[in-house]
Amino acid sequence: MEKERFEKVRKHVRSEAALEAGDVLNKIKDNFPDNPEGMNYFYDLLSRQFSEGILPKNGKKVIGTMCVQVPDELILAVDAIPIRVCSGSFPYDNAGAEFMPAKTCSMIKAIMGLFSVENYQKKFDMLVIPTTCDQKKKTTEMLTDMGYETYSLSLPSRKDNDNSRHYWQNSVKEFAADLMKKTGKKITTSNIKKAIDLKNNARYEFRRFFNLRKKSPSVIYGKDAFLVANAYFVDEVESWTSALKNLNDELEKRVNKNFSIVNQKTPRFLFTGSPPIFPNMKIPLLVEEAGGLIAVDEVCSSSRLLYDMPAYDEGALYDMIPAIADCYLKPCTCPCFVPNEERKDKLANLIDLFNIDGVIYQSFSGCQLYEMEQKLIGNFLMEKGIPMLYIESDYSKEDTGQLSTRIEAFIESIKIKKKSDLKGKRATK
Amino acid sequence: MKYFAGIDIGSTSIKIVITDEAEKIIAHSVNATGANFHKNSMAAFNSLLDKENIKRDDIVYIASTGYGRKLLKEADETISEITANAVGARKTVTGGKVKTVINIGGQDLKGISLDEDGNCGNFVMNDKCAAGTGRFLEMVARTLETEVGNLSNLHFSLKGVPAVINSTCTVFAESEIISLLANGHSHEGIVVGVHYSIAKRIARLIKRIGVEDIIFFDGGPAMNKGLVEAVENELMRELFIPEIPQITTAYGAALIAKEAYEEEAVHA
Amino acid sequence: MKKKQKKRIIAHGYSRGLIIISVIFIAPVFAENREPKSFHFSLTSPAEKKQKHESEHAAKPVRKYWLSTAEKDLNLEGYLLNPLGEEKELKIEKKEEGWLVSFNTPFKDSEDHGANNVYVVDKKVVDKTLYIRTAKWITVNHSCGWGHGHKHDKIRHSALSFEKIPFEIVPQVLWDDKFHIRTKTGDNLKVFVYSYGKPVENAKVTVVSEKDWQKTMITDENGGIEFQMIRDYYERNWERFHTSHRSRMIVEAEYEINESGNYEGELYNKIIMSTSMPWKYSPALEDYASYKSGLTVGGIFFILTLGGVLLYRERRRKPFLELDFEKKPRKNKKNKNE
Amino acid sequence: MNKFKKYINNVNISRFRFWFQIFAFIIMVYGGFLSIDIGENLPTFSCPYIDKGGGTCFLMGLQHRFTLPIDQLISFRGLAVLTSVLFFVSWFIFFNKAWCGYICPLGTLQDWFTKLRQKIGIRYSNYSEAKFKKLKKIKYILLGLLILIPIFMANSIPFIGKLSHDWAVPFCMICPGRTVLPLFQGDASQLVIDYGSKTKMIFTVLGMAITGMFFAGAFFKKRFFCFFCPMSALQFIFKKLGFLRLIKDGTKCTKCGDCYRACDMGIREIADDIESKDIIKDDCMMCFKCVAACPEEKCLKVNFLGKTIYEATEEGFYKRQKGKK
């Protein structure tokens, strides 16, 4: 009886989630002109993810990860498939809200909803959750309680000293050992080298993509960029890389032809804060529908995901694994670190590189880290003279009207500023 | 003669302002929004034209703003109420530069800080709920069985100690007021308490963007002198209240319409 | 002189044969007391007893050398060859203590930088025999402050022969290319004898060490002899042992020519030429240094370090490092600033 | 030109360095046989105890030159010290600290040890931050001593008097360059303990102990001895004069620490300092491994007289990492 009810709920939530995903995808596809051909792969992939489920079916071990700090290379080295299970789905968020505290962040609720509604216990061989924020920490325990195999990857709160660096390296080493035990496969120099190369290829293409986005006026919308990175969560690395390569080639042609999707006047935004994860593309879509362009982002579901590359000096495990560990810790600008000056530097650099007019800072209500860091970042940007719009929101659609007013007002104010800047420039000429 | 119209479709009322090329208000109206935004706003617009004897063709550019701006297909341009409000406030005050704008609308609370050029620099809005907005005042008036316009009188006729209202949430405040009444508090005391609770909320909100003189206070509730006094006391600064506080946003929209029209003419 | 020689024969029996031969040949020459003794240069006057040594590392503005003889009636000619082989002026003074030669070596890194040859020549006819006595001193004008570069060619640090000199000793190697002295006990030394710039065969060369050990050899067709310098510095008290102890040695050569002639109006029918060159040598490294100890010390420390690293690594593998509560808490001031 | 630049930036600098070091090693150690003579004021550990080296270390001459009475040191003879320093600096100007990373024979030797360890597959060692900070100071102490001791040899110190001649070239006595490098010419004479005097004995024991530690240390720790090298301290004084520069653009840095990983000397600032432009630190040997390991476009650069000759590029980084065995 209980089982039957459960099955009913699952069916309902699943169909709702698929509906939501389809809806958002349609918006992404249809509300914008000139989508690159190369994006179709990603559109298809994400729609398949929600209609057919997120799991690959090739018999390999599947290891779920949360947060960018999980070193995928190790998982790839033991011939398992890493899948990032962070969810942006509102129906799952709703499902999670049934038993999660009201002030939990939407993403955590959605993750918990996903794992409580779907019976993934047997499909995931392990769920790796770094101890980034307090909510993720407790998520680990709750998932264990639900019968999932979890692994809590212990992350230090500081990254600016050697102690924490070594702590993290040890943490990763322990994880590698555990992974070997779990999968029964050994991590060797050659297979980890292969894994690093595999991921570095992806990173290389991702960086190319990143650099192509620098072109102003832009050749691609921010919403598409988010999708590309989001697809990485669930896709296999090789196919993702080759799809991105196609897209990059296409965009390169656009750049060479001087073709752009927006005009010179379009305000260029930097998106930062809590990660928009498909299908929660609420804010990026609102921004771009209102005539703005998200030129670049600084979120863990997109630019931060594949930007940093590990560099090992000696091709042996004693150097490669710490090198991998370092690359996930040191450049990371997650607000769970103290101090997090790097985030400011990173934002400043991105603002310069991408010719940014304004910053949009999203924070999920309940995500205290981003909520609190908003003030610091806001002050920093104010000093730099870059306007910032702070939006506190969640996965629900109910605040769309109010948000669109705020976003439009923000865009209008930037347009006015740009106009007067242009006038000033003309006057000086 | 060329005229420009700004139509502000708010949650409670539709405000229309028609200006001439000299940016002077030559006609304005405030009507209830009702259920059908589009129909009502067009009706209000047409009746205003009739009343002031202006030909529809003379209105060369219409800018719509406010909550329902996107529904008005007749508009040549839509603009967010924040920008429109800032522009309107900037033009309304002639004696100096407006630095801060406080707007209480039917369903929201806004604070806008203007930069040196009078453009919208930074702004804050209340989140989803309607606490401390015009709707809240309406609810208070209804609970006290009086008119919204009468709240100001009640405020100034207080003799004694004001009541303390802890909640600005429309739903919770209602029950709180009822219990205060049951405890024998006077209507006047409750009204003053309500005003101060709204004022506190406003102060908390706009302190986020920084308060600087001249502070411009508009929106329907700005007509309530009692509330104005409460806000002034909370902020410990003087407020600038425009002649007709409701229409600043619509005026701003009209000004933007003019600007947009001129820009189009240049490009054409 | 004869007695002395005999004494030496007894002391060093192994070279007896050679010396007996030389005694037979030369004995008639020394039959009378009037024969002039050979002389050599010294850093001290004949009156002084104390030994002195010249340093290779210190530059001196004026070089002064005494002649070992106390004879007053010498007819000295002086020659000075600078490091490039050019002849320079040499000052000879007759002092109360004896004969003093001197020359300037200006303190700078100039052409004077290198080996200088100092000669005096005395000719005299006694008993129808012409005695040509020469003395030679080689000094290096060098300061380590001028550097040890290789800017100086070989000429600058080798002893040259001079064609104006009737009889002279030219050592093969005296300094290395850094102008540092090389002669150590146990070294094989090679010495050539030249007359007016040409090698002299069958000349008799005697090496006399500080402790009066001596060895005499006859030059080959190139005018050269070779011998191993023996060790004669034994310090009973190790505390007083000096690695840089300099022992003096004198290399002497003699040669007789049956030739008649006239020297300044005096007739002679035989020429006897003699020359001398003082030198110094120090104990060989092997005498006071040990490879065994060196390698042992090096090895011990190698193993200690190696072991230390490995031990440390092993310790790190243990899960917990013990916390020492009695230790004073470390100052965290610096960490705060980081 | 661009193509050439791209080629240079994609180059595997470690391999280039490996061959350059061999070349430099031959010149420095066997140069005398090839009648090469570069001089005696070289800012590198090319040991004067090698009989036929191609040039010699400045420290030996420096120690000699300071063996002067103070009054002479401040008079015209002090000029000799000054001119030698000028010679040293003029050598130094050209390659800056790259003398250490590319030419120093002792450094090359240590790199070979590292290569050997790597081949065997033994993990390298690192100092902890705190230890490292303490050890770093040693080279300055050594530099101070190697100047002071010769001065005290020529000038009398109260209560002690003049130091004996056995104190000559005190640093050379403990430098592993003296004991190790002559071995490459088959000269093992420096491996002895000198019982000639107490001072000499202590010095040679110290020298051999350090040599022993050098062999073991250099095996585990990359560039083990360079942390204590007074030459690197001396060079650091003149670092501002160098034509060759390592430049960092802090705005592009993500502090990812890739350069820090690559750094044999464990210089933290290379990753964490985003303020200074001229990033050469006292331990830096300008091997430019950090530039090769930097994934950020143009974040780290090698400049010669203000002209960029080598810089970090994304492509170069990617290719080098891929090409690693």
**pLDDT tens for residues B52-68?**
888 888 888 889 888 88
Cβ neighbours of residue C79 under 8 Å, at least 6 residues apart? C87, C90, C117, C118, C119, C120, C121, C162, C164, C165
Distance from CA of A376 to the nearest CA of B (A): 13
**Total beta-carbon pairs less than 8 A apart between chain A and chain D:** 88
Which of D250, D256, D261 shows the shortest C-beta gap to A308? D256
State whether A310 and D129 contact (CB < 8 Å). no
Q: Which of B36, B37, B32, B2 is nearest to B15 (CA)?
A: B32
Tell me: pLDDT of C109 over 90.
no
Q: pLDDT: is C221 or C112 the higher one?
A: C221
State whether D197 and C298 contact (CB < 8 Å). no
**Which pLDDT belongs to residue C55?**
74
Average pLDDT score, chain D:
89
The residue among A374, A413, A420, A422 with the most chain B CBs within 10 A of its CB, best to mutate, is: A413
Nearest residue on chain A to B208, alpha-carbon basis: A375
A314 and chain D: CB distance < 8 Å anywhere? yes
Q: How far apart are CA D93 and CA D96, in angstroms?
A: 5
**Which pLDDT belongs to residue C13?**
45
Between positions 299 and 328 of A, the ones with CB within 8 A of C are none
Distance from CA of C103 to the nearest CA of D (A): 22
Q: Which two tokens stand for residue C67?
A: 């002649």
**Which pLDDT belongs to residue C329?**
53
DSSP line for C273-324: EEEEEEEEEB--HHHHEEHHHHHHHHHHHHHHHHHHHHHHHHHHHSS-PPP-
- Ordered by start, the domain boundaries in chain B are 1-79+246-268, 97-237
Q: How far apart are CA D200 and CA C183, in angstroms?
A: 20
Which residues are bridge partners to B15 per DSSP? B8, B30
State whether A331 and D254 contact (CB < 8 Å). yes
Q: Which two tokens stand for residue A91?
A: 């129906």
Contact B/C (≥3 CB pairs under 8 Å): no
Which of A162, A330, A352 shows the shortest C-beta gap to D129? A162
**Which pLDDT belongs to residue C319?**
60
**pLDDT tens profile C26-77:** 544 444 456 778 888 888 888 787 777 777 667 788 888 888 887 888 888 8
Between positions 139 and 158 of B, the ones with CB within 8 A of A are none
**pLDDT tens profile B189-218:** 888 888 888 888 888 888 888 888 888 888
Burial call C256-270: b when 16+ CB within 10 Å, e when fewer: beeeeeeeeeeebeb
**CB count in 10 Å sphere of residue C87:** 12
Q: Which two tokens stand for residue A94?
A: 């709703």
Mean pLDDT of B96-118: 85
Q: pLDDT: is C151 or B103 the higher one?
A: B103
Q: How far apart are CA D279 and CA D265, in angstroms?
A: 14
Burial degree of D161 (CB within 10 A; 0-12, 13-18, 19+): exposed
State whether D124 and A319 contact (CB < 8 Å). yes
Tell me: pLDDT of B227 over 70.
yes
Mean pLDDT of C137-163: 74
CA atoms lying within 13 Å on the CB side of residue A316: 11
A163 and chain C: CB distance < 8 Å anywhere? no
Burial degree of B188 (CB within 10 A; 0-12, 13-18, 19+): buried
Q: How far apart are CA D31 and CA A183, in angstroms?
A: 58
**pLDDT tens profile A198-254:** 999 999 999 999 999 999 889 999 999 999 999 999 888 999 999 999 999 999 999
The residue among D50, D64, D120, D206 with the most chain C CBs within 10 A of its CB, best to mutate, is: D64
The structure tokens 């040859």 sit at C117
Q: Which of C199, C261, C248 is nearest to C224 (CA)?
A: C199
Q: pLDDT: is B91 or C243 the higher one?
A: B91
Q: How far apart are CA D279 and CA D244, in angstroms?
A: 12
User: What are the Cα distances from residue B174, in Å, to A12, B104, C307?
Assistant: 38, 19, 81
Between positions 357 and 396 of A, the ones with CB within 8 A of D are none
- Ordered by start, the domain boundaries in chain D are 14-235, 243-324
User: What are the Cα distances from residue A110, in Å, to A94, A100, A277, A280, B9?
Assistant: 7, 10, 11, 11, 36
Lowest-confidence segment of B135-149, C22-36, D1-15 by average pLDDT: C22-36
Homologous superfamily of the B97-237 domain (CATH): ATPase, nucleotide binding domain (3.30.420.40)
Element (H, E) at D213: helix D198-220
Q: Which residues in A lie closer than 8 A to residue D321 (C-beta atoms)? A: 196-197, 200, 309-312
Give the alpha-carbon dihedral of C208, C213, C217, C219, to 10 degrees.
-30
**pLDDT tens profile D176-188:** 999 999 999 998 8
**Which pLDDT belongs to residue A276?**
94
**Which pLDDT belongs to residue A378?**
92
In one letter, which amino acid is A365?
Answer: S
Between positions 45 and 84 of D, the ones with CB within 8 A of A are none
D80 and chain C: CB distance < 8 Å anywhere? yes
**In this structure, what DSSP letter does residue D99 have?**
I
Q: How far apart are CA D61 and CA D66, in angstroms?
A: 9
Contact by Cβ (8 Å): B176, B145: no
Q: Which two tokens stand for residue B12?
A: 């409670």
Question: Which chains touch B (3+ CB pairs under 8 A)?
Answer: A
State whether C149 and D216 contact (CB < 8 Å). no
Highest averaged pLDDT of the listed ranges A369-378, A409-418, B68-77: A369-378
Cβ neighbours of residue D82 under 8 Å, at least 6 residues apart? none
C285 and chain D: CB distance < 8 Å anywhere? yes
CATH 3.40.50.300, domain B1-79+246-268, yes or no: no
State whether A160 and C335 contact (CB < 8 Å). no
Q: Which residues in A lie closer than 8 A to residue B117 (C-beta atoms)? A: 420
Contact D/B (≥3 CB pairs under 8 Å): no
Cβ neighbours of residue D29 under 8 Å, at least 6 residues apart? D46, D50, D53, D54, D105, D181, D184, D185
Q: pLDDT: is C97 or C195 the higher one?
A: C195
Tell me: pLDDT of C104 over 90.
no
The interface predicted TM-score of the complex, written ipTM, equals 0.78
**Which pLDDT belongs to residue A169?**
92
The CA angle D87-D88-D94, to the nearest 5 degrees, is 95
Mean pLDDT of A73-93: 92
Q: Which of A56, A104, A102 is nearest to A82 (CA)?
A: A56
Which of D255, D262, D318 shows the shortest C-beta gap to A313? D262
Q: pLDDT: is B250 or A51 the higher one?
A: B250
Which of A312, A314, A330 shows the shortest C-beta gap to D255? A330
Q: Is B63 helix (H, G, I), strand (E, B) or coil?
A: strand
CATH 1.10.472, domain D243-324, yes or no: no
Could you write out the three-class secondary structure of chain A? Answer: CHHHHHHHHHHHHHHHHHHHHHHHHHHHHHCCCCCCHHHHHHHHHHHHHHHHCCCCCCCCEEEEECCCCCCHHHHHHCCEEEEECCCCCHHHHHHHHCCCCCCCCHHHHHHHHHHHHCCCCCCCCEEEEECCCHHHHHHHHHHHHCCCCEEEECCCCCCCCHHHHHHHHHHHHHHHHHHHHHHCCCCCHHHHHHHHHHHHHHHHHHHHHHHHCCCCCCCCCHHHHHHHHHHHHHCCHHHHHHHHHHHHHHHHHHHHHCCCCCCCCCCEEEEEECCCCCCCCHHHHHHHHCCCEEEEEECCCCHHHHCCCCCCCCCCHHHHHHHHHHHHHCCCCCCCCCCCHHHHHHHHHHHHHCCCCEEEEEEECCCHHHHHHHHHHHHHHHHHCCCEEEEEECCCCCCHHHHHHHHHHHHHHHHHHHHHHHHHHHHHC
**Which pLDDT belongs to residue A360?**
95
Contact A/B (≥3 CB pairs under 8 Å): yes
